[in-house]
Amino acid sequence: MQISWIDWGIVILYIIFAMGVGVWFARRASSSLSEFFISGRNLPWWIAGTSMVATTFAADTPLAITGMVAHEGIAGNWLWWNMAATHVMATFFFARLWRRADIITDLELISLRYSGKPAQVLRGFRSFWEGIVLNCIIMGWVILAMVKIMDVLFGLDQVAQNLGLPGWIDGKWLGIVICLIIAVAYTFLSGFWGVVMTDFIQFFLAMFGAVALAVISLNEFGGIGEVKMRLAEQFSGRSGDILNFFPEVGGSFLPMVTFVAFLSVNWWATKAADGGGYIAQRMFSAKNEKHSFFATLWYTIAHYAIRPWPWIIVGLISLIAFPDLEDKEAGYPMMVLTYMPVGMLGIMLASFLAAFMSTIDTQINWGTSVLINDLYKPFLKPGAQERHYITASRWLIVLLMVLGGGTAYLMQSIKGAWQLMYGMTAGIGGVYIMRWFWWRVNAWSEITAWLVSAVVYYLCYLYDPKMLYGWKLIITTLCSTSAWVAVTLLTAPTEESRLVRFYERIRPGSPWWKPIAAKSSVRVDSLGWYDIGDWFAGIFLVYSSLFFIGKLIFQEWISAGVYLVIAVVSAYIIYRNFDRHIEKRL
């Protein structure tokens, strides 16, 4: 399809808008590190929460989901669906604690919670490892996805030839450079203010484009009934059903052992177990604890229950439209190019750009924040003026984008990058959870978890490159958890005065802080069955809402009704407990 001037006009208008936001907030962002990295702790829940949703929706997401659906059916989405329990836990247990910490980055918690040289080593190591290594992996797959989309739409190799570029600059390099220029331009100026304000618009634009493509695709192929029939014919030779929400024992799609690993291990064992990283960054930026709670609750519902189905539907239809496509992830942009009409194609292109920018700007800003706040400021250049750190942050943004672009060039598979990052950090989540609830956890506990997780996952790969991903997760988590618990008990605890200050500021409410609570004059309400009940109600609410929408789309009315009842009952439990219990903790 030829891209019309109307479509190009829509894309250009969006770019002008994004750049305008950057210019508008440039002066405000330059006033302090707090303004540059967490918007002065002044965001309402609906902006902070929507920004959480937008930043986890990048151009890579619909492509990766299309690939999952092609190879593992709808059940393949449990690679990320399992994390709903994590984010519900972050909502009810950790959102208020992160806000109470009154810090700029989640790594700053290390100095608040631990003491001595091990704490300094841990903070410095994690700032480098997460700010550069893991951050570049994430930026790499986000950029790779946008390049794949651009290649399908424009034929980047041909564009590079038409521009007369040197032979060593292929289409992939050209696409990466374009992505870098667009992303850096406004993130360089506006800091976190530009990130969250554009995120808010980007979320609705990206969702509109995704839903529009799903509706148009369904109409082109005769509706959901016809799509289900054609998929059944196309995959009749494979055991299992591509449309099942759960894997079948012995099915050829998602292996059962991997599914079990997702439900039993992955949701609590990965590094996001307590809601850290860029999710915590938005918790810090909220006006108060109540806004932090509602922001995370809105994010969890929108992220898992509302967003996935347009991508899944288009991914399924792409298997019918392009059955012989070698790169299944490219099926999504092929659907865009083939079936979106003039005008709507421009909106879809702008939504891809919005999705890309909403994630890449967060990764740049967050990665810069940990490198400046947790490495450069405390260890390399302490005591400088705020303006110096902001200037250093802007130049570091450029450096991170160059490194992210190089990582993207070396990557081949988005899903493979997802699995690499989850695998390398399997087993870390347990110590992240327990550092809030058990006074005995120390810096050596975290160091051990990090090292053992990375080494064991790599050894599993060396031992058997074809080992099921689920077994890698289980083995890595068991080894890492056993190691950090043993090291915790064998090493000295954090100094008592540091623990008392942490307890009085955070007020964790855990019974495993009794030795420290006895030395404090602050009275803290203990966690109880209400908290656990709210967590379970939240999990049922998210999953039942997710499956209700799915069953509704597939016209399975009875199942949809059952899931709707579960969702309503779960929501009522949370609503009833809010005035009686939840609000008292905020």
CA 322 to chain centre: 29
* Residues in the chain, pLDDT under 70: 1-2, 26, 29-30, 167-168, 185-190, 237-240, 249-253, 412-423, 580-581, 584-586
pLDDT of residue 327: 81
Whole-angstrom Cα distance, residue 113 to residue 128? Answer: 19
Integer Cα distance of 313 and 315 in angstroms: 5
- Residue 286 φ/ψ, nearest 5 degrees: -70, 155
CA distance 11 to 348: 9
Instruction: Give DSSP secondary structure letters for 86-125.
Output: HHHHIIIIIHHHHHHH--SSTTHHHHHH--HHHHHHHHHH
Output the CA angle 65-283-269, nearest 5 degrees: 55
Tell me which residue of 484, 423, 433, 487 sits closest to 455, measured CA to CA.
423
* pLDDT tens string 128-186: 988 888 888 888 878 877 787 777 777 777 777 777 777 667 777 777 787 777 777 66
Confidence (pLDDT) at 239 = 45
CA–CA gap between residue 244 and residue 237 (Å, rounded) = 16
**Contact yes or no for 285/39 (Cβ under 8 A):** yes
pTM of the model: 0.88
| Tokens 């109600």 -> residue | 537
Taking only the tens place, the pLDDT of each residue in 25-74 is: 767 766 777 878 888 888 999 999 999 998 887 777 888 888 888 888 89
How far is Cα 455 from Cα 426, in angstroms, rounded to an integer? Answer: 11
Residue in this structure with the two tokens 């494979």, named with its chain if needed? 238
pLDDT of residue 420: 66
pLDDT tens digits, one per residue of 188-227: 666 777 788 888 888 888 888 899 999 999 999 999 999 9
Amino acid code (one letter) for 574: I
Residues belonging to the chain? 586
